[in-house]
Amino acid sequence: MKNTIDHSTAAATFNKDVERVNWHDETLWFVRSKRDKSAHAIPEWEALRDTASKIKNNVLSNMHHYLQEFEAKAKENGIIVHWAADGAEHNKIVHSIIAKHGVTQMVKSKSMLTEECHLNEYLADNGVQVIDSDLGEFIVQLRQEPPSHIVLPAIHLKKEDVSDTFNEHLGTEKGNNDPQYLTEAARKELRDTFLTRKVALTGVNFAVAETGEFVVCTNEGNADMGAHLADVHIACMGFEKLVPERKHLGVFLRLLARSATGQPITTFSSHFKKPRKGQEMHIVIVDNGRSTQLGREEFRNSLKCIRCGACMNTCPVYRRSGGHSYHNAVAGPIGSILAPNLDMKKNADLPFASTLCGSCTNVCPVKIDIHDQLYKWRQVLVKEGYTPTSKTIAMKGMSAVLANPTVFKIAGKAGRFVMKNMPFMVNNNLNAWYKQREMPAPPEESFREWYARKAKESKDKK
Amino acid sequence: MSSRDSILSKIKSNQPVSVNELPGLSFLGLDKIDVLETYKTVLKGIGGFCEEVSSLEEVKAYVETKYPEAKRKITTIPELAVIAETNWDAHDPHTLQDVELAIIKAHFGVAENSALWVTDAILGQRVSPFIPQYLAIIVNKKDIVATMQQAYERIGNSDYGFGTFIAGPSKTADIEQSLVLGAHGARGLTVFLME
Ligand code: SF4
């Protein structure tokens, strides 16, 4: 893996191309607006969110039982169940299944979990070629980039970029930027892939403890094309994907696509319960830090996430810094809560990549207290000594200032003086907030000065 | 200890001490809507076509006028054997790769999102709604429910190996958020609403 560039540095680079950043910002806001329109059309939207949140709370508190129930039912249904403690074990299991069948190629539909585990790299090192079949993932894979968004993997790219990539790899016409034309080219290419792969891997959106079935949602139909044509279907899931009973799917399927893209439901919501005749079906249940997060009382709620991406689309920081700046498989607000659990040192910058405006919390379909958790992570990280340098200096300065009224007074005066007369002093790398922002014109007098003057004036009047 | 046992034991010691109660669902999905009208509007909104018919004869006539005769068509409905192949359900699924149109039935539809529920029992093959260039699904008008809430009440604990909700043609917006119909699955979906 490459060295990690911290969020604010990566964001600064992303912000160099002003036009592109504005476009990125607007595109995601457009998706957020579609979500609003769709949500507002459901009178009981809030009741649905509330119910979903409660169901997930139940799942978290009864995980031990539900997982065993799910495993037993899945086995009864003829599915082979595997357990992986971490990413490395997950990768090994997947590879052993592929190796057993003596193949060197696999088709894969969207699975953020396999991104999290770096499965593609592992398989490539072991001589297995993986083709990502979701169009967005297919595009970024050709470009050797990670997805920048969990629902819209290529949202950071313009059609010109896609056209160049396809021209290079698929031989499409140079300069033809028509999305219809480009999609058709990928369709032709991938159809051949679907028809020739013996092993298909899919993600899992929901797994039902009661019945042992799992649900995969796509718009493109790529998960189904892969799974129904392959001899072997491998489905990989984080253990938090469970819901207790089949009927609970109704609540989540009503929320998921509306929150994600504003669609009333994804085109396909496929329920896999038993392998088809002659087919082999595997489920890999992965922990990879989730059980640790379950034990962190303040952060366990993050495991309720159904990966709709709404918190990213609405986040002012995500929209203006891009998914890659989060250097984690899951970007944006929720990614910034999940990442430090996996590696505090490497991801210490992420909980700071937020204005704590709370917009994420407001749109989250399962009511995760996202911005509160980001705030709490900051405290944990500071306590554990993992704060990113620029923030530490600013925060130390801040707490010294707030602790001492005289310094606070002088600091305020000095601050207004600096902003008026030497704005470049504020625009240094120690103040990340100045980047890409016009600082507001400083007021002529502070509230404190205004209050003192008013008090004096009224005293003088008497 | 196996990974299974160590994961489970860690979960047991880390999950909340007391179980949070499951909420009831019976108060959901009770808003009064015109089920059929909603179904048609939503289907149009997501790129599907809707044809109201009163017999399989009408379906036959529609298919004959809209789809070229020379191209391969398959169906699971014996009455449509004159216009489409019927005995393909035991074949290798790969042999369906050149199918232009598949005509199948749905158990029921859902008004709020225009999704249609299909399972192994009526699919012939699992890949049949995904692999053809175009897809046509017949559903009875009286089998449209209001929301997913009623949909799962209707599914209940019925057994199936595979089932899927299909809402509109396959699509993608992965290139600059421009909607393109026909990603990997069918390029077009016609729903025949049967009297
Ligand atoms: S945290 Fe909530 S809003 Fe964000 S992706 Fe997960 S479910 Fe969606």
* Per-residue pLDDT at A401 exceeds 50: no
The DSSP code sequence of A35-62 is HHHHHHT-TTHHHHHHHHHHHHHHHHHT
The four Cα atoms B20, B21, B26, B28 give a dihedral, to 10 degrees, of: -20
CA angle B40, B46, B52 (to 5 degrees): 30
| B173 chain-A contacts, CB cut-off 8 A | 152, 219, 261
Question: In the prediction, which pLDDT does A431 show?
Answer: 46
Q: Closest partner residue to B177 among A30, A222, A287, by Cβ?
A: A30
Q: How far is the CA of A91 from the centre of ligand 1 (A)?
A: 26
At which residue do the structure tokens 């080219």 appear? A185
Spatial contact of A192 and A226, defined as CB atoms under 8 Å apart: no
Question: Chain A window 82-111: which residues touch B at a Cβ cutoff of 8 Å?
Answer: 83-85, 89
Q: What one-letter code names the amino acid at A267?
A: T
Among the residue ranges A189-198, A341-350, A435-444, B129-138, the one predicted with the least confidence is A435-444
> Residue B31: its chain A contacts at CB < 8 A?
43-44
- The reported pLDDT for the residue numbered A410 is 53
* A42-288 is classed CATH 3.40.50.10420: yes
- Closest residue to atom 6 of ligand 1, CA basis: A305
DSSP label of A165: H
Task: Quick: pLDDT tens for A92-113.
Answer: 999 999 999 999 999 999 999 9
Q: Which pLDDT score is estimated for A212?
A: 98
Burial class (CB in 10 A: 0-12, 13-18, 19+), B92: exposed
Residues in chain B with CB shorter than 8 Å from the CB of A62 are: 15, 19-20
Q: Report the range of poorest mean pLDDT among A223-227, A405-409, B183-187.
A: A405-409
- The residue in chain B having the minimum alpha-carbon distance to the alpha carbon of residue A23 is B176
Residues from chain A that touch B135, judged by Cβ atoms under 8 A, are none
Which candidate, A355, A387, A389, A381, places its Cα nearest to that of A370?
A355
Residue B172: closest C-alpha in chain A: A220
Tell which residue, A348, A344, A335, A262, has the closest CA to residue A305: A335
C-alpha distances (whole Å) from A303 to each of A98, A202, A258 are 30, 20, 20
Most confident of A338-347, A404-413, A414-423: A338-347
Output the CA–CA distances (angstroms, integers) from residue A140 to A6, A145, A146, A461, in the order listed: 21, 5, 6, 71
Residues with CB under 6 A from ligand 1: A 259, 305-311, 334, 363-366, 368, 370
So what's the pLDDT on residue A387? 74
Q: Which of A205, A147, A151, A458 has the alpha carbon at shortest distance from A324? A: A147
- C-alpha to C-alpha distance for B159 and B184, rounded to whole angstroms: 28
Ligand 1 centre and the CA of A175: distance in Å? 37
pLDDT digits (tens, 9 = 90+) for B24-62: 999 999 989 999 999 999 999 999 999 999 999 999 999
With a CB-CB cutoff of 8 Å, which residues 223-262 of chain A face chain B?
224-225, 227-229, 239, 244, 246-251, 253-254, 261
Nearest alpha-carbon partner for A151 in A258, A56, A252, A283 = A258
> B residues 71-100 near A, CB within 8 Å?
93-94, 97
From A366, A367, A373, mutation site for ligand 1 pocket: most ligand atoms within 8 A of C-beta: A366
Model pLDDT, residue A456: 72
Taken in order A368, A374, A379, A380, is the CA torsion positive or negative?
A: positive
Decide if A158 and B10 are in contact by the 8 Å CB cutoff: no
Pairwise CA distance, residues B172 & B178, whole Å: 8
Distance CA A434, CA B104 (A): 60
Give the whole-angstrom CA distance, residue A344 versus residue A336: 11
Our CA-based measurement puts residue B104 at a distance from the nearest CA of chain A, in whole angstroms, of 16
* Residue A356 to chain B, least CA–CA distance (Å): 27
Residue A290: per-residue pLDDT? 97
Query: Residue A447's pLDDT is what?
Result: 61
Chain A residue whose CA is closest to B124? A276
In a 13 Å sphere around the CA of A263, the CA atoms on its Cβ side amount to 29
- Is residue B47 less than 8 Å (CB to CB) from chain A? no
Query: Which domains are assigned to chain B?
Result: 36-194 (3.40.50.10420)
**A248-257, A259-268, A273-282, A341-350 — which is least confidently predicted?**
A341-350
Is residue A301 predicted with pLDDT exceeding 60? yes
pLDDT tens figures, B109-126: 999 999 999 999 999 999
Atom of ligand 1 at shortest distance to CA of A337?
A: 1
Strand segments (E) across A76-126: 80-84, 105-108
Interchain CB distance below 8 Å, A58 and B8: no
Taking all residues of chain A, what is their mean pLDDT, rounded to a whole number?
Answer: 89
pLDDT at A441: 59
Q: Which residue of A has its CA nearest to B97?
A: A195
- Per the CB < 8 A criterion, the answer to whether B181 and B138 are in contact is no
- Split at pLDDT 50, 70, 90, the class of A138 is very high
Q: Provide the 10 A C-beta neighbour count for residue A184.
A: 16
pLDDT confidence tier of residue A204, bands split at 50, 70 and 90: very high
Residues of B in contact with A187 (CB under 8 A): 182-184
Q: Which ligand 1 atom sits closest to the C-alpha of A302?
A: 1
Does the distance separating the beta carbons of A266 and B22 come in below 8 Å? no
Check residue B68 and give its pLDDT: 82
CA dist A237 → A113, A117, A267, A382, B109 (Å): 7, 11, 21, 32, 29
Is the reported ipTM for this assembly greater than 0.85? yes
- Pairing, β A199-202 against β A129-132: unpaired
What average pLDDT does range A64-75 have in this prediction?
Answer: 98
Cβ distance B15 to A63 less than 8 Å, yes or no, reads yes
Task: Tell me the average pLDDT across A7-14.
Answer: 90
Smallest CA–CA distance, residue B70 to chain A, in Å, is: 21
For residue A249, the model assigns a pLDDT of 98
Out of A124-133, A203-212, A276-285, A419-428, which region has the weakest mean confidence (pLDDT)?
A419-428
- For residue A448, pLDDT beyond 50: yes
SS3 call for A82: strand
Of A24-33, B61-70, B84-93, least confident by mean pLDDT is: B61-70
d(CA A354, CA A377): 12
Show the 3-state SS of chain B. Answer: CCHHHHHHHHHHHHCCCCCCCCCCCCCCCCCCCCHHHHHHHHHHHCCCEEEEECCHHHHHHHHHHHCCCCCCEEECCHHHCCCCECCCCCCCHHHHCCCCEEEEECCEEECCCCCEEEEHHHHCCCCCCCCCCEEEEEEEHHHEECCHHHHHHHHCCCCCCEEEEECCCCEECCCCCCCEECCCCCCEEEEEEEC
User: Across all residues in chain B, what is the average pLDDT?
Assistant: 96
pLDDT band per the 50, 70, 90 thresholds, residue B140 = very high
Report pLDDT for B1.
Answer: 86
**What's the B184 CA to ligand 1 centre distance in angstroms?**
27
What's the gap in Å between B89 CA and the centre of ligand 1?
40
- Is a pLDDT exceeding 80 seen at residue B128? yes
What phi, psi does B181 have (nearest 5°)?
-85, 145
What percent of chain A has a predicted confidence (pLDDT) above 90?
80
What are the structural domain ranges in chain A? Answer: 42-288, 398-461
Whether A388 has a pLDDT exceeding 90, the answer reads no
